[in-house]
Structure 1
């Protein structure tokens, strides 16, 4: 499994990705709006990367794509898709190392993954983000997701109640 864009390679995780994965997952700014806590130990990163590498892309549940730069092969982040049991809908998540943010890589990577999953016949992809995460909300808007809701003080995470923004994208509205 390998997809390329003009600047990125989207592929399955490999054991050699563990150190770079741990590095960006240890950054408190990268973890700020995520469900996981920083730091992520190297041992935990090795275990997670091994799980990602062994996962079945077409099975219900989460599948994590590694996002690497074509120039140099550096692991820049990941895009995750959680396929629903009905295999007609999925949830989307994404994380990018701070050093690679603000350059359009996340938009490029998510677009590539959406092209891949919608090509399988998926009907709908949803996403949600912390309402304070304006960069993620803008990315979803750019890709054609519709904002479907705002849940006030819905999630208790990292010691505080947070608002969630809900987004959805139907296959028939995908502009790939």
Structure 2
């Protein structure tokens, strides 16, 4: 079980539970075609974002497998919500989880996704006690793949035309890290 002691702070970011006050900033992310280009969903209108936000507010703890912890990411210097992250507990028996992240394009290329995802790995290994954590992305999404490489995750699979997404076949990359690999990274 994982119920983080929110808010969590990194050098430049605050990771916390979503609140109703996040609607405008979350919609600013989820409405953009460039954000959803490699995702399974289309850009959201405001009402769809409102419904998604309600789901995220309810996902504030990992009580069992097949559940997701939704995490809002804001900049410490501005207080602005810039990212939407998650940890999914895939299997209790096999001690597996998955991380994911989406950031507003205005904040790309500044290391924010890497900084937030590093905290997702810490939560997964050190607080949830997982053995293995994966991250997945569309193979065309070079920026997400690079974030996972920077974290020290290894690309274990390149699945060719494994998913039909938005009218076309897409390749998928699967990255992974084991707890012992996480523990060996100097901090």
Instruction: Give the TM interval when normalised to the shorter protein.
Output: over 0.9
Give 1:47-58 correspondences, 5 Å limit: 47-58=51-62
Deviation at 1:42, TM superposition (A): 1.5
Which residue of the partner structure matches residue 128 of structure 1? 136
Change (3 A) 1:79 1:85: same
Deviation at 1:84, TM superposition (A): 1.8
Deviation at 1:56, TM superposition (A): 4.0
Cα root mean square deviation, aligned: 1.3
Distance 2:99 2:120 in 1: 9
Give 1:33-72 correspondences, 5 Å limit: 33-38=38-43, 40-59=44-63, 60=65, 61-72=67-78
Distance 1:123 1:47 in 2: 33
Distance 1:139 1:83 in 2: 21
Runs of 4+ in 1 over 4 A off after TM superposition: none
* Worse-superposed segment, 53-62 or 154-163: 53-62
1:140-161: CA deviations, max 9, x gaps?
0110111111111111001100
Q: TM-score, normalised by structure 2?
A: 0.89
Q: TM-score, normalised by structure 1?
A: 0.94
Matched residues, number: 175
* 5+ residue gaps, structure 2: 1-5
SS at 1:173 equivalent: helix
Deviation at 1:106, TM superposition (A): 0.2
